[in-house]
Structures are given as C-alpha cells and as structure tokens.
Amino acid sequence: MRRLEDKLCIVTGAARGIGHAIAARFRDEGARVVMTDLDEAAGRPAAKALGAEFVLLDVREEEHWAELARLHPACDVLVNNAGVTGFEGVPAAHDPEHASLAEWHGVHRTNLDGTFLGCRYAIRAMKAKGEGSIINISSRSGLVGIPGAAAYASSKAAIRNHSKSVALYCAQQGWRIRCNSVHPAAILTPMWEALIGNGPDRAAKMAAMVADTPLRRFGTPDEVAAMVAYLAADESAYVTGSEFHIDGGLLAGSAASPGD
C-alpha cells in the first residue's frame, strides 16, 4: 500500500515549484490531493493534470480559509507552502535600513499570517479525528540572517518557531496532530530559473550560485517533496516540533579544504 493511501492532503501554493512537486508526490503515494493557489490560471490546469482538486485560496484572507473549511471540514495533512520573497519581479532593497513598513507587512502577511491561518484551520480540521500532520515550509533563511531580505528571513524564522508552538499545543491537548518545519535552500525552482536564464552562460551562473554549497549543486523540488511525504506519512508518527534542513550541507559549514 502506498504511504498516503486515502489521506486527504492539502497543499498551498501548489501551482508550481516546490508546492507542485509535493502535490505530485502525494498523488503518487495514493493521497486525495487538494491543490490551492492564488494563481488560478496556473493552478487549475496543474491540478487537473495531476488528478487533484483545485481550490482558489489567498492564504492571507480569513474568509478564504473559512471557505476551504466549508469545502473540507476535515483533512489528514496540510502543507503550508505558499510564500513570497517580497521582491518578486522588482529588484528592491529589503535590508533592515531601506525596507518600507508596507513591504515588511506584505511579506509577513503572506508568509507568517498565512501559515498561522493554515495551522489554525488544520488543528480544527484534524482534532475530531485526533491525528494529522501539519508541515510548514520555512527556509534556510529562517535559520540565518539575510541582510538583503530582512522581511523574508524574519517571516521564515517565525514559521520555524510557530511550528514548535503548534506541535506542543497539540500534544498538550492529547491529540496526535504533529507539526514540523522544512527548511530548503538552493532549490532549483522557477524563481532561480528566472535568475539563471537560458543563455550561453547558464552553466557558469549555476556553478557560481552553488559554489558555497558542499554538494556543489542545486537541490530539486522533488527532493523536498520526498522529505515532506515522509512527514505526512504514518511512519513519522513520533516526529513533531522538529525541523528538517534540505540545503546541500550549507548549514553544516564549509567543505573547503585548508588549501583552497
């Protein structure tokens, strides 16, 4: 039997990138998948191609979560994946000196408020059964400082800590509702693809971007999805309040030899 057979799994921000890879892996594992996204034009055909359900969801809005709760009052797995850097398509300074309060609030509203609302929905959707798995996608940026993306780093750090609060709260209530965070870094998603481009210098750009990773390569969305599938499955029943790094060894330190 596949690991997620007959489980109802909801993935936010699932139209592309890591969210899409997670949804595809869940389908491969036998789950009934609900893919949500704010981009309906991309999300609806992506869900149809996977044999999943699509729900338009703006994670920032309580009424959208209320509608999801009406459609799916119970679920087994929720992946809070939807997130923004805050400077999508606009090369703006997000350092601690120049970021505006509006930019700061904008990033936190999607990344942190969206995760809070998602966790609250999931707890209410899982507590009748008394079990389930909440998986919050944070980032390496939630574990180290990022001077040029202060709002993003702050929001991802808060996701890490909120995951632990949710895990402890659920355990305190006697529920087998688990909550963990996943921290990817240098994963080759559409955001990175846009930066690299398809020009003749593509290989050189990629090499430069991963020069500081001990494994000297980008990770793939499928590799993140594999970790998330483990956390969604019953085999991780003793895992809660933990964080999982998928970063090619970045947080381990430097792999350079003394002579480098």
pLDDT, tens digit, 9 for 90 and up, residues 49-74: 999 999 999 999 999 999 999 999 99
Q: Which residue has the higher pLDDT, 26 or 204?
A: 26
The structure tokens 């947080």 sit at: 251
Whether 230 is catalytic: no
DSSP, residue by residue, 89-133: TS---BSTTT--HHHHHHHHIIIIIHHHHHHHHHHHHHTTTTEEE
Between CA 11 and CA 78 the distance in angstroms is: 6
What's the confidence (pLDDT) of residue 91?
A: 53
Catalytic pick from 121, 152, 169, 230?
A: 152
Could you tell me the CATH superfamily of domain 8-189+221-247? Answer: NAD(P)-binding Rossmann-like Domain (3.40.50.720)
The three-class DSSP label of residue 181 is strand
Tens-digit pLDDT profile for residues 225-242: 999 999 999 999 999 999
Between CA 34 and CA 182 the distance in angstroms is: 20
- Residue 70's φ and ψ, nearest 5 degrees, are -65, -40
Per-domain boundaries in the chain: 8-189+221-247
Whether residue 258 has pLDDT greater than 70: no
| Average pLDDT estimate for 181-189 | 92
For residue 92, count CB atoms less than 10 angstroms from its CB and return exposed for 0-12, middle for 13-18, buried for 19 or more: middle
Whether residue 82 has pLDDT greater than 60: yes
Contact 228, 79 (CB under 8 A): yes
Whether residue 157 has pLDDT greater than 70: yes
